[in-house]
Amino acid sequence: MKPLAWTLSSCLLFTGAVVADELEDALSGFDEFDKAPAVVPAATSGSDLSDLDESGFDTSPVDPGVSDSGSASQEEKTDWYSLSGYGSVLGAYNYAQKSQSLVAPGDMPMDFSGLSRSRIKGGLTLDMKHGDNWQSKFEVVAWYDASWSINGRENYTQDVLDTYESFVDLKDAYIQGSLTKNLDLKFGRQIVIWGKSDSIRITDVINPLDNREPGMVDIEDLRLNETMTRLDYYFGDWGLSAIIIHEPRLEIEAGFGSDYRPSGIFGEPIPYARFPDRVEPDWNLDNTQYAMSLDGRFTGWDLSLYAANVFDSRFDVELVGAVPLRFYDKINMIGFATNVVSGGWLLKTEAALINDVNYRSSGRKNRLDALIGFDYSGIKDTVISLELANRHIFDYEEKMLTLTLQEAAAQNTFPDFVRQNSVQVALRTSYSFDHDNATVTYLLSLAGGDGPGSSFDGGFQRLWIDYKYTDAISLNAGIVDYIGGDSLIPFYRATEDNDRVFVEAKYSF
């Protein structure tokens, strides 16, 4: 671990924890520190459970015959929509990257040191009400990163520029409302969050992730919206949700050859032209995904049961003619999650049995993911969160870890580099001050290990401050330190020189 890693972690190791996750999931979700508690008092009716959803809409029924005053009633009739948005400027400086990336012979060397982000970003949201029981929401985000022009666009591959120079996305685009007193419908592009963990994805398998900048991106920008139909039925303290996912959207990958996915990530550098293209699934019945959940909320605790048939984030390589291409397959998941509140403690656990995980070196396997953790808020203005997870692969074969790039190439595939038991630990500490206008947060994430006594493969740590200058203006600044390892897992070694400082100013309206 580099000196900076020791310095930052020694400040908070009194909590007795470290943090982790694996390639796609380890570096996601760690900024969702202000997530609302999942445990709520027992609902008094089915409709009470549906008053709020992920979008933030209040879906409680409105009595059109009751108003506080004539002017308020008139406002309700005319103010049927609201428009909001934000604009931000983000700068980042990579102080540890070498001047040229690791490249294959004959390929373009690229410089990722120094100025790494000079991004202008904006978002616009339209909320509309359609009568008393229906509403819709549309949100568009876009950004442009000028750092590539400043550093010279000709010095980078088109794949890197396509991934990091600009982006436009239609996020929320849905309509929702009540079909009956206890039955709600929500259709369109949306996000569904499963599970109780704030830092490690166990049962949260519905939406794919934006993995372009692991460790740098806030949680609200990580999950990618998908077009789906969702029906929610409420009875007593329970809510039953059935979901049909029409859009087979895949994760957004880090650009091949970039500092987050160097060409030597699997060992010897792979020529750019030889890295297989990805086949995007078509919108059809075969690629339709399905999910169902049952949620019970009671006084002091809650329980959720899950089942899903969704696309996995792992790819397989197949030859189409003589051309290798990357394909993605579906997995089946059943799981549960629960929270229990006791004083200043929030105890949580999750587990998921995943069938038909496609490992490139050995075929399909089953995997059991499990998590335990807690949040502690008994110290004034401070919250400490610790989560520990393990992913166990059944019928494990040693070549799933040791198969080299050269050996895999002879089979027209890529190595897996996975352990039979992969441990993840997530530690986060947050302190608020200045009447909650400022929050300092430290996060340490480590992944790997194969049982007690094993060392971790690597991870990252981040220290940052969020400051609300005014109601409209907020500032965010910090430092990210990527931690490499000496094990067989290559990902963290490949990205350990991505350490950077960053600052962002945001204006909301």
**Domain count of the chain?**
1
In this predicted model, what pLDDT tens digit does every residue of 469-499 receive, in sequence order?
999 999 999 999 999 877 778 888 888 999 9
Q: Is residue 66 assigned to a domain?
A: no
Q: What percent of the chain has pLDDT over 90?
A: 68
Domain that holds residue 373: 3-58+77-508
235: left (phi over 0), alpha (psi -120 to 50) or beta: beta
Contact 355, 332 (CB under 8 A): yes
Residue 162 has pLDDT above 80, yes or no: yes
pLDDT classification of 299: cutoffs 50, 70, 90 = very high
Nearest 5°: the CA angle 495, 398, 367 is 80
In this predicted model, what pLDDT tens digit does every residue of 111-128 receive, in sequence order?
999 999 999 999 999 999
**CATH assignment of the domain containing 446:** 2.40.160.10
pLDDT classification of 502: cutoffs 50, 70, 90 = very high
pLDDT of residue 61: 40
For the residues 343-364, what does the mean pLDDT come to? 95
Tell me how far apart the alpha carbons of residues 60 and 31 are, in angstroms, rounded to a whole number.
Answer: 29
pLDDT of residue 405: 84
CA distances from 189 to 244, 330, 475 (A): 12, 20, 29
pLDDT classification of 218: cutoffs 50, 70, 90 = low
pLDDT classification of 454: cutoffs 50, 70, 90 = low
Residues 6+ apart with CB under 8 A from 14: none
Say whether 481 sits in a helix, a strand or coil.
Answer: strand
Beta-sheet pairing, 323-342 with 277-278:
parallel
For the residues 348-367, what does the mean pLDDT come to? 95
In this predicted model, what pLDDT tens digit does every residue of 338-352 receive, in sequence order?
999 999 999 999 999
Residue 422 has pLDDT above 70, yes or no: yes
pLDDT of residue 167: 97
pLDDT classification of 9: cutoffs 50, 70, 90 = very low
Tell me how far apart the alpha carbons of residues 370 and 365 are, in angstroms, rounded to a whole number.
Answer: 17
In this predicted model, what pLDDT tens digit does every residue of 374-397 receive, in sequence order?
999 999 999 999 999 999 999 999
Residue 40 has pLDDT above 60, yes or no: no
The mean predicted confidence, pLDDT, of the chain is 85
pLDDT of residue 500: 96
Residue 292 has pLDDT above 60, yes or no: yes
pLDDT of residue 203: 97
pLDDT of residue 78: 55
- Which residue in the block uniquely carries the two structure tokens 């032209």? 273
Tell me how far apart the alpha carbons of residues 460 and 462 are, in angstroms, rounded to a whole number.
Answer: 7
Q: Is residue 279 assigned to a domain?
A: yes
Asked which of 300-304, 414-418, 464-468 is least confident by mean pLDDT, the reply is: 414-418
Q: Is residue 468 assigned to a domain?
A: yes
Q: Is residue 470 assigned to a domain?
A: yes
Residue 59 has pLDDT above 60, yes or no: no
pLDDT of residue 302: 97
Q: Is residue 266 assigned to a domain?
A: yes
pLDDT of residue 72: 40
Residue 333 has pLDDT above 60, yes or no: yes
pLDDT of residue 453: 59
In this predicted model, what pLDDT tens digit does every residue of 166-208 receive, in sequence order?
999 999 999 999 999 999 999 999 999 999 998 899 999 999 9
Q: What percent of the chain has pLDDT over 70?
A: 83
Tokens representing residue 133 in the block: 């029981």
Tell me how far apart the alpha carbons of residues 430 and 442 are, in angstroms, rounded to a whole number.
Answer: 6
For the chain, the maximum distance between any two Cα atoms, rounded to a whole number of angstroms, is: 77
Contact 61, 47 (CB under 8 A): yes
More confident residue, 377 or 22: 377
pLDDT classification of 220: cutoffs 50, 70, 90 = low
CA-only gyration radius of the chain, Å: 23
